[in-house]
Amino acid sequence: MALHRARGAAEETTLKILVTGAAGQIGHRVARHLAVRHHVVAAVRTGGISGIECVTMDIAEPLSVRIAVDHVMPNAVVHCAAMTNADECETGRDLCRRVNVDGTRALAEESARSGARMIYLSSDLVFDGKKGDYTEDDKPNPLSWYAETKLEGERITAATMADYAIARTAIVVGKGGIPPRGFACWLVETLRAGKKARLYADQFRSHFYLGDCAAAIGLMLERNLTGLYHLSPGRKESRHAFGMVLAEKLGLDRSLIEAIGMDDAAMDAKRPKDCSLSNAKLVAATGFEPSALDKTIECIKSEFEG
Ligand SMILES: NC(=O)c1ccc[n+]([C@@H]2O[C@H](COP(=O)([O-])OP(=O)(O)OC[C@H]3O[C@@H](n4cnc5c(N)ncnc54)[C@H](OP(=O)(O)O)[C@@H]3O)[C@@H](O)[C@H]2O)c1
């Protein structure tokens, strides 16, 4: 049921896309990015998003999922809704399963029934962090309940749908969500408030600019990619190193940042030491060019100061 519109001399396909978790850090940016070229309907729990058509959906309630999908009749679904705080997932396992596993199953079933393809967002945290630079061929080994449920969501999506893609995303950095949330936002707010921020010096992640993440998801949709892809800048830094560079660029007090080891912090959910992701498969398929670290920091600076 693709809609078509003329754009200059060329005709391009305009999709009707349902974005779940559209008030979240990634979902909000994805919805805005895709809305430039496509008809986007944003699924939110409450409220609305200015300039974007919205539908309410509680992903943990199968009837709510069915009603929303029937109402929107999308060609494509980008599934960003999830319970994402790993420590809350660890202590609230039942709710986490209902949202991340049962919710994904309900959405995959409804999407398949209505003929829509789906991109499911998964996480770098599905790996145990012993190796780093993980490719799509590496075997996941989740350390936390959050990661277990994200991996189960991948399996359910693959088992339920014929036309799907899994975007296993590295940690995103940028200002996104209503209200804004995520690691960069927490760090900037903490330092602006003059409070101390403790960052792991021995945990390595592929800090991925939020705008690049949205662009990569757009490419996956528009190129009809299917199967599993890692979304990443293809490099890694420690959480502490990234935080220090960001603070310096934003003129924030770097002395408030304390380098700690992962063994120094008592967390409910275990974290991997190095779950950096290779982006070679995505780059080969699409020519995707992620931002270098200095460009990433520059973009984040303009988001927080603009
Ligand atoms: N951020 C990262 O660094 C990262 C890295 C790897 C993978 N991912 C994955 O990317 C996806 C998006 O992450 P994010 O960072 O954007 O997360 P986020 O900011 O926490 O947003 C999650 C969204 O899910 C919504 N949600 C939670 N429970 C729901 C429910 N029962 N029904 C409907 N909506 C519900 C939230 O609604 P409210 O706005 O109402 O709270 C929120 O909008 C997730 O699948 C996550 O696992 C994220």
Contact residues for 45 (Cβ-Cβ < 8 A; gap 6+): 23, 56, 57, 58
Ligand 1 test: best mutation among 20, 26, 99, most atoms within 8 Å of CB? 26
Q: What are phi and psi of 42, to 5 degrees?
A: -95, 125
Domain at 256, CATH number: 3.40.50.720
pLDDT by residue, tens only, the chain of 306 residues? 333 333 333 236 799 999 999 999 999 999 999 999 999 999 999 999 999 999 999 999 999 999 999 999 999 999 999 999 999 999 999 999 999 999 999 999 999 999 999 999 999 999 999 999 999 999 999 999 999 999 999 999 999 999 999 999 999 999 999 999 999 999 999 999 999 999 999 999 999 999 999 999 999 999 999 999 999 999 999 999 999 999 999 999 999 999 999 988 878 888 899 999 999 999 999 999 999 999 999 999 999 997
Q: Check residue 236 and give its pLDDT.
A: 98
So what's the pLDDT on residue 306?
A: 76
Distance, in Å, from the CA atom of 262 to the CA atom of 181, rounded to the nearest integer, reads: 23
* pLDDT the model gives residue 264: 87
For residue 27, how far is its CA from the centre of ligand 1 (angstroms)?
7
**CB count, 10 Å around CB of 294?**
10
Question: What is the structure's pLDDT at 3?
Answer: 36
* DSSP conformational letter for 176: B
- 281 in Cβ contact with 230 (< 8 Å): yes
**Nearest one of 203, 192, 167 to 82, comparing CA atoms:** 167
Rounded Cα gap, residues 202 and 217, in angstroms: 29
Going from the Cα of 25 to the center of ligand 1, the distance in angstroms, rounded, reads 7
CA distance 166 to 207: 19
**Tell me, what amino acid is at 155?**
R
Provide the domain count of the chain: 1
Show the domain range for 143. 3-305
Contact 229, 281 (CB under 8 A): yes
Q: Which residue has the tokens 């502490």?
A: 240
* Its pTM surpasses 0.75: yes
174 vs 301: CA distance, rounded Å: 9
Residue list, ligand 1 pocket, CB within 6 Å: 21, 23-27, 45, 57-60, 80-84, 99, 121, 123-124, 150, 169, 171-172, 177, 181-182
**Euclidean distance between CA atoms 253 and 194, whole angstroms:** 8
Give residue 268's pLDDT: 86
